[in-house]
Chain A
Amino acid sequence: MNHASLREQVIAIGRRSATRTLRQRGLLAFPVIFPLILFAINGSALSAATRIPHFPTHNYRDFLIAMPFVQGALFISTTAGVDLARDIESGFFNRLALTPLRGGALMLGQLAGPAILGAIQSVVYLLVGLATGVTFVSGVGGALVLLVLSILIAFGFASLGGLLALRLGNGEAVQGIFPLLFVTLFLSSSSLPRNLIKATWFRDIATYNPVSYLLEGLRSLVITGWNAQALELAFGFALGLTAITMTLSNGAMKSRLARR
């Protein structure tokens, strides 16, 4: 009996995931458009924040542009989670479980679609940012690093969505968790630098909230140039999120498959 290699299995599952994503245009539109609407509203309504002493930039959009990238990644976590949960509910997961498919290959392949979605939306946010006057202190290289980081963040949140799907096994339940994830964005340094947040409780939460560091890593490329510490923290949290959720997903996958 022939056995597909891990690479072949990841490619096969990844091709399906990518095909599904690209054929569902509605799925592409919402996570891209909604963060841009918020970017437009906040960029206009909160622009006076730049007059606060020690605000790090004169153009609030330079500060705010990091937010759509993380917000879009949060949407992707739901998309990825619901997609996998639907497979579990429909029995498609059982079909895959009857093949020699490895659990790790399923998770990795399953994230191909969300990764593509992450890449598409990141490019759109970048172009919209540039078109509305956002300038990169770190130059073209910084813009490219921002794209890589934002795709990695999308990948990390997508694997979190996958983990939730494996644990909950139900699309509605996964969607129900989304508002909780979304709150983490607003309880972060998404609208103001942490050192300028007056309310102590808010500042403390933002300091302990990893989302702040994802935002600050992305933002540093726009407004401060090559800031090694900010980038290390952002890449570290994104990789850490991916590593932790993938490890937990492997365990959840084993109990979900329940095959012997």
Chain B
Amino acid sequence: MSDPAPAIDVHELVREFRKGPRAVDGIDLQVAPGEIYGFLGPNGAGKSTTVLILTTLLPPTSGHATVGGYDIVKQGARVRESIGAALQEAALDPILTGREHLHLQAALQGLPKAVRKQRTDELLERVGLTEAADRRVGGYSGGMKRRLDLALALVHQPRILFLDEPTTGLDPQSRAALWEEVARLAHDEGMTVFLTTQYLEEADALADRIGIIDRGKIVAEGTPAQLKAEIGSPSVEVRPADPGSSERLAGMLEQFGKTHRDGRGSVTVQLPGGEAELAEVVRVLDQHDLRVETLQLHQPSLDDVFLAKTGRKLEGAGAQ
């Protein structure tokens, strides 16, 4: 049996802004129906620009993409019918209530009058906003706004859902609740989810496959397990007691592989020989009489993948 047509199919997509670098620089990706695709990258990597292009809100400079089988340039209206989107900022009207938002969205999406109230009540209950439904959105917490944003994206029962950094700024409880709902939508309802995030654990926990984007280019793609397996070996992160000795520390550890220093003086090096090399690292530090504040062994993570592919850690790697 042949594979079904991809829900999202992107070829050589480019977006240039006047007097700026290429925000999206020739990306290719495919997302299968019912899949959760995590688009991981630091601030300014090109994630939101990609979402704006794929949701037809921003025309591409070049390249080709289909969403739900429809061309994003030539069949924009059909694309919009197929998708729901919660963009980076939960764009809500602080003067309106949650229920009024859903009624407005339902009316504009063309839901018959008889269905609107039922669909509104159903979505309010699903995102846990029934009690707050008649309060003005201006008084909602960040988590409540995000949940309402998600409900609005689902009003017309789209096949494909775009979520642009849906949990940024949320407390752990709200984040977990949103993850649960997104997973349910994909696994129980077969919805395709394109999720951008800058949180490693979010991509790791939710996504079936991940694309790592940096400076407009996809630098790695695969399932979380595949990506970690590419790195293969663990790494050790050493923080010297005296941050000034960071450079000397990096010199000592270079015999194990390429070192990476962060802004706080820590030095990370991958251990191709596995955990067994940890003892040798400690011996080298001891030989050079270098006092250490912390020493941590890390199993391969998506951060290591990002580090290996870009030479930088994801945390604080936002575009300058």
Contacts and interface: CB of A to CB of B under 8 A. Distances in A.
11 contacts: A4-B110, A13-B108, A16-B96, A19-B96, A91-B87, A91-B91, A98-B55, A100-B80, A100-B110, A260-B72, A260-B76
A90 B73 contact: no
A40 B211 CA distance: 67
A93 B80 CA distance: 15
A178 B104 CA distance: 31
Interface string B67-97: 0000011101100110101011101110110
A260 B75 CA distance: 7
Nearest to A93: B91
B93 A100 contact: no
Interface residues of A, number: 32
A100 B81 contact: yes
Interface of A: 1-4, 8-9, 11-13, 15-16, 19-20, 23-24, 87, 90-101, 257-260
A20 B96 contact: yes
Interface of B: 55-59, 72-74, 76-77, 80-81, 83, 85, 87-89, 91-93, 95-96, 100, 103-105, 107-112, 152, 156
Given A3-B110, A259-B57, 14 more contacts: A2-B111, A4-B109, A13-B108, A15-B104, A16-B93, A16-B96, A16-B100, A20-B96, A23-B95, A95-B152, A98-B57, A99-B80, A99-B108, A259-B80
Closest 3 CB pairs of A and B: A91-B91, A260-B76, A2-B110
Contact of B57 (A3, A90, A258): A258
A101 B74 CA distance: 18
B110 to A, nearest CB: 4
Contact of B93 (A12, A92, A97): A92
A16 B58 CA distance: 26
A257 B55 CA distance: 12
Contact of B108 (A1, A101, A258): A101
